[in-house]
Structure 1
Amino acid sequence: MQKFVGTGVALITPFKEDLSVDVEALKKLVNFNIENGTNYLVINGTTGESATITKEEKQQIIDVIIKENNKRVPLVLGVGGNNTAEVVKEFKTRDFTGIDGILSVAPYYSKPTQEGFYQHYKALAEATELPIILYNVPGRTAKNMEPATTIRLANDFTNIVGVKEAGNIQQQYNSLLKDKPKDFLVISGDDDLALGVALAGGSGVISVIGQAFPAEFSKMIQLGLEGKNKEAYQIHFKLMDIIDYIFEENNPAGIKTVLKELSICGNEVRLPLVKASNQLTEKIAKYVASF
């Protein structure tokens, strides 16, 4: 699945001041990324505030991105939840025209056992022929999907092609890289660890900060995939502070503040999230001005 190797970005959803979807800003963001080296785009993930976007808005966002992308880069759609039957239903009934793969988050809140994770993803894999990227993010789901479960799924289902691993646990990445099937993709979901994962044999990243600095971030990951660690780390060191800043309070308030400073979109978020504090905004503005 070479189409999901390199730098993917988890797109934000820009909002106008009245909190409606800012379609023109979304188009601008899509083009900015494609024109500056982003390898693929991820739609309606956590960073896109999928939890507070209506079904109608989600479809609007998908339609806008598919049209604006015009088949230039692969598109991955976030479709997941903790009601397995409902997710299966969406897999079977949604029109996936224009979508190249699915990113599906591990069931949250319910805290399933490892067998529960396996059976959930088994049901999903059997409901579609599209490539599925597992998404393990225990900081949000309250339960870690262990490497052995991920590897079991990778071995048992040909359309489970990779995992976005976002536990921020280096040892977990190492276990996945050691035991994974040859063509299975281990994708970093942690911007701060992404380069190390690429250098260790991973397939790249699904990034948050990458959408603000796509040329630099995608070059860093490509250098990492090529094993050029010294050149790659020069870029990594330059981006370290801003990666810390955007996750200091909440995501996507931080990245939206960066994008506002870059004049790409506004910084509005929907409750229960709130905008970045004045203190954080000042740090981000200073960084962007000096970049």
Structure 2
Amino acid sequence: MNELRGAGVALITPFNTDGTVDFESLAKLIDFQIKKGMNYLVVLGTTGETATLTAEERKRIWAFTSEHVAGRLPLVAGIGGNNTMEIVAQVKAFDISGYCAILSVSPYYNKPTQEGIYQHYKAVAEASPLPLILYNVPGRTGSNMSAATTVRLAKDFTNIVATKEASGSFAQFSEIMRDKPADFLLISGDDPATLPMMALGAVGIISVVGNAYPAEVAELTRLCATNDYVAARPLHNSLLHITDLCFVEANPCGIKCILLEKGIIAADALRLPLLPVSEATRTAIRQEVAQLN
């Protein structure tokens, strides 16, 4: 799965001020990613506010993105949730045109055991028409998928090809790297962790800040992949403050504000329960965007 190496971006879903999906801004964002060297796009991950989209909206966004990209970049579809039967039905029905993999978040809210997480992914893997990327993000799901469960899944299912790891535990990252099959990929799920995770052997990042700074994120992963950490460190450091601002009032509130400041989307509209950032955060974002420019 060389398509998953380097910099991927978890695309936001732009909305109009009336709450409808802004496909014009989505097209502009996609073209910006391609022009600036992003390696692949993740469509409707958690950054895409997928939980607040209808089934019909999700289908339209997946299809629109595939048609607009037209083979210019690899695409990954986010299909995950805490109702295993529903997710199995969704992956079976998914139109794979233009897509190379599915990213599926570990079940949230239910707080399953490790065996429950394993059985969930077993059911999804057996149903999936595409290679599967695990996604461990305890800060959102309320439970951690252990390194042992990750490695067990990687060894038991040939179509489980990678994990997006956002646990924040370098002990866990190291254990995955030590025990995983040789061709199983570790991908960073946190922008600030990209450089140190790639030093451990991760192959790249699925980024949030890359929505607004794709060239910088792509260059950071390129430098790390060639072991040029001396050149990578200043770039890593330059993105830390703007990345913090992405998350200070929840994701994707911050990144939508940044994209509006950069003129890439028409509005930083979100769907409840999320709201646009406060004026204090907006001012801080405006100052940091100007400094980075």
**AA partner of residue 195 (structure 1):** L
1:134 is paired with a residue whose SS is strand
Percent identity (aligned): 51
1:100 is paired with a residue whose SS is strand
Aligned partners of 2:192 and 2:240: how far apart in 1?
7
1:206 is paired with a residue whose SS is strand
Question: Which consecutive segments of 4 or more residues in structure 1 shift more than 4 A?
Answer: none
Structure 1 unaligned regions, length at least 5: none
Match of 2:97 in 1: 97
What pairs up with 1:192-231 in 2 under 5 angstroms? 192-231=192-231
Match of 1:142 in 2: 142
CA drift of 1:107 comes to 0.7
**AA partner of residue 254 (structure 1):** G
Deviations 1:84-122 (A, max 9, x none): 111111222222222110000101111111111111111
Aligned partners of 1:232 and 1:71: how far apart in 2?
29
CA drift of 1:222 comes to 1.0
Q: Is this contact kept in 2: 1:190–1:207, CA < 8 A?
A: yes
CA drift of 1:238 comes to 0.8
**AA partner of residue 68 (structure 2):** E
What pairs up with 1:28-107 in 2 under 5 angstroms? 28-107=28-107
1:234 matches 2:234: yes
Q: Is this contact kept in 2: 1:129–1:159, CA < 8 A?
A: no
1:257 is paired with a residue whose SS is helix
Match of 2:6 in 1: 6
Match of 1:185 in 2: 185
Aligned partners of 1:91 and 1:59: how far apart in 2?
12
Aligned residues: 291
Once superposed, what is the RMSD of the aligned Cα atoms? 0.9
1:281 matches 2:282: yes
Deviations 1:170-225 (A, max 9, x none): 22212111211111110000111011111221010100001111111110111011
Aligned partners of 2:81 and 2:258: how far apart in 1?
29
Match of 1:250 in 2: 250
Aligned partners of 1:94 and 1:257: how far apart in 2?
31
Q: Which moved more, 1:42-51 or 1:83-92?
A: 83-92
Give the TM-score of the pair, scaled to structure 2: 0.97
Structure 2 unaligned regions, length at least 5: none
Aligned partners of 1:259 and 1:171: how far apart in 2?
34
Deviations 1:55-76 (A, max 9, x none): 1111111121111111011100
CA drift of 1:43 comes to 0.6
